[in-house]
Copies of this chain bind each other. A is one copy, B any other.
Amino acid sequence: MTDSPATPRRRGAARTEELLQATLDLAAEAGYAGLSIEAVSRRAGVGKHTIYRRWPSMPALLLDALNRAWTSDLDYRDTGDVRADLREQFLRSGLALSSPPIGPVYRAVIAEAQADSALRATVHERFLATVEQSTLDRITRAQRTGELVAEVNLEFAAEVLCGALYYRSLLSTRPIDEDAVDGLLDMFMAAYGTGG
């Protein structure tokens, strides 16, 4: 075969990166359906062993791929206006959750997690709980600056805010648009805002 210089044939650990990228590419093209270890191995021109040597199962590979795709954008800005910061972050997250490659991969992980409670715990810990905590940090800061009422436990509020987003993007068919985010924030600010 013509050994094209662009593909130096094989590697050791950099192959891991290539496999994650191949998974994301495949997800972006074929969606959740067609995401399989066989498909990834074919797509990457790789023996299945090369994948199984790195990840014990498809969900493990998907988790790492998701982690790679979800570069930054996890932290809220802090402009001093908590409602504006939440709004911006929710719209950004909503867009990411509904676009490839994050959307299809997230769906695939959620689907697999329905059959495996251990995986469900891992997903929640590694992604959902992280987002909840980040949200809780931001609104707790707003509580300290007086934007939100004091003496209220905001833990459930953070979960409800995130839950509404993920419910809409993963279980509903409606988009996370400005109306939805504004409606959600209306309720949140009506409950805990200090009027201002």
Once A114-B108, A124-B172, A166-B171 are accepted as A-B contacts, the answer to whether A187 and B186 lie under 8 Å apart by CB is no
Chain A interface, >50% SS class: helix
- When all copies of this chain in the complex are counted, the total is 2
- Asked if A156 and B187 sit within 8 Å, CB to CB, the answer is yes
For the complex, is A32 an interface residue (Cβ under 8 Å from B)? Answer: yes
Residues of B near A184 (CB, < 8 A) are 156, 160
The docked-state distance in angstroms from the alpha carbon of A170 to that of B108 is: 14
Report yes or no: A192 in contact with B183, Cβ–Cβ below 8 A.
Answer: no
> Interface residues of A toward B: which range?
35 or more
Cα-based distance from A120 to B31 in the complex (angstroms):
15
User: Which residues does chain B contribute within 8 Å of A160, judged by CB atoms?
Assistant: 160, 164, 183-184, 187
A-B contact pairs, 19 of them (CB 8 A): A31-B115, A32-B114, A32-B115, A33-B115, A107-B115, A123-B171, A124-B171, A124-B172, A128-B171, A153-B183, A156-B187, A159-B172, A159-B183, A160-B187, A163-B172, A166-B167, A166-B171, A187-B187, A188-B191
